[in-house]
């Protein structure tokens, strides 16, 4: 599909920044995407160019695969590293078995709160805009909506283990997890839920989207390659 582009989004820019940078490179003004990634996230984006923008609705509801790094010991206002620390724990002791069981328990249909800084609209206003306005007056958003999220697969990829191999390292503990999920599932919400199931605060440290439906990150191009 010549009018559909697979892009490997870098960290530190918005999804709209991807479009803004590609317009002059492609010489095309009409460009859209089939789902955003947060500025801190990297990975696969599907873009439509010209008439390809009309095809984007076909891709929005596709299942997705992510690789997430989850930090145990901290919770943050945004659910990721962009936010302010809400809770901090310096001593972490989680057995590999408990971690594996908690990750596996996420598979299924879950009803979880979304981040107060998500793009979901409440009363017609994006949540992140409401949250930023509340911060200006010294308050935080507490009435976050719940959302049904589908997790088809949750696989532990790596963990930090100390020398005696009996428990995870004390201090900052980072776990890498592969998630295969339905559309509309927030990995920030899954990260925080994993922390709750292990009785520790947790936040999303990094996120990479690797698949959207049949589309794979290995077929994506970097912006600078155009």
Please work out, in degrees rounded to the nearest 5, the angle formed at the alpha carbon of residue 18 by the alpha carbons of 191 and 30.
Answer: 125
Tokens (6 digits) for 117? 């800084």
Q: Which residues are catalytic?
A: 38
Is 76 in a helix, a strand, or coil? strand
| Kind and range of the H or E run holding 200 | none
SS3 29: coil
The Cα–Cα gap between 36 and 43 comes to 11
Closest CA to 198 of 89, 66, 79: 89
């Amino acid at each position: 599909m010549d009018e559909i582009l697979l892009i490997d989004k870098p960290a530190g820019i918005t999804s709209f920044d991807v479009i803004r940078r590609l317009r002059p490179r492609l010489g095309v003004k009409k460009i859209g995407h089939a789902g955003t990634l947060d500025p801190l996230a990297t990975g696969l984006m599907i873009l439509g160019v010209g008439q390809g923008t009309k095809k984007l609705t076909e891709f929005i509801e596709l299942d997705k695969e992510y690789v997430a790094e989850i930090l145990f010991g901290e919770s943050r206002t945004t659910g990721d590293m962009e936010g302010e620390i809400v809770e901090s724990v310096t001593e972490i002791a989680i057995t590999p078995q408990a971690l594996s069981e908690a990750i596996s328990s996420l598979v299924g249909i879950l009803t979880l709160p979304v981040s107060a800084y998500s793009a979901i609209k409440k009363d017609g206003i994006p949540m992140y805009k409401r949250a930023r306005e509340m911060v200006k007056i010294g308050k935080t958003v507490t009435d976050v909506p719940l959302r049904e999220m589908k997790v088809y697969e949750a696989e532990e990829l790596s963990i930090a283990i100390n020398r005696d191999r009996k428990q995870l390292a004390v201090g900052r503990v980072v776990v890498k997890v592969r998630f295969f999920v339905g559309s509309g599932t927030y990995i920030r919400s899954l990260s925080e839920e994993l922390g709750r199931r292990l009785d520790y605060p947790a936040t999303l440290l990094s996120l990479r989207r690797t698949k959207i439906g049949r589309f794979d990150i290995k077929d994506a191009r970097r912006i600078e390659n155009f």
